[in-house]
Amino acid sequence: MSSKNSREYGKSMQRLQTILQNLDDSQIPLDELADQVLEASDLLKKCKKILTDTDFKVQQVLEALTSEFEEEREGPREKTSSNRLAGTLDKKNANSDSSPGDEEDEALEDEDETEDETEDETEDEKNM
């Protein structure tokens, strides 16, 4: 809850308590009763909106944290060759000294390495 909302909420709750106390003590003249009830209703709506907005923000933060923790728990995911290609291209784009042909060569080398690793794993499994 922002400090502005916190102040508004606090003031609204104080005013509501005053109105309720006046109602309980029968201190409100009958001609002001309807006005006080309407004011109390408006204050309740205002407080509810502040609480609902705050709850929404808290839920967003909790969902983001939960998502982060789940990703950390899962650990690094195995990259596919297309993800490696994209990562290689991103790295090369950040380095302005390389030429466009170099990017393609490295991306193809990465794919070849992946294929070699897969073939080695398959041979190891056959030998078991």
One DSSP character per residue, 57-72 reads HHHHHHHHHHHHHHHH
Residues 107 and 64 in one domain: no
Predicted TM-score (pTM) of this structure: 0.49
Q: Residue 27 in 3-state DSSP?
A: coil
List the domain range (segments joined by +) for residue 49.
3-74
**Count of domains observed in the chain:** 2
φ, ψ at 79 (rounded to 5°): -85, 140
Same domain, 34 and 94: no
Show the low-confidence residues of the chain (pLDDT under 50): 79, 81, 93, 95-100, 103, 128
Residues 25 and 41 in one domain: yes
What tokens does 16 get? 């509501």
**pLDDT at residue 79 in the model:** 47
Are 10 and 66 members of one domain? yes
CA dist 71 and 40 (Å) reads 46
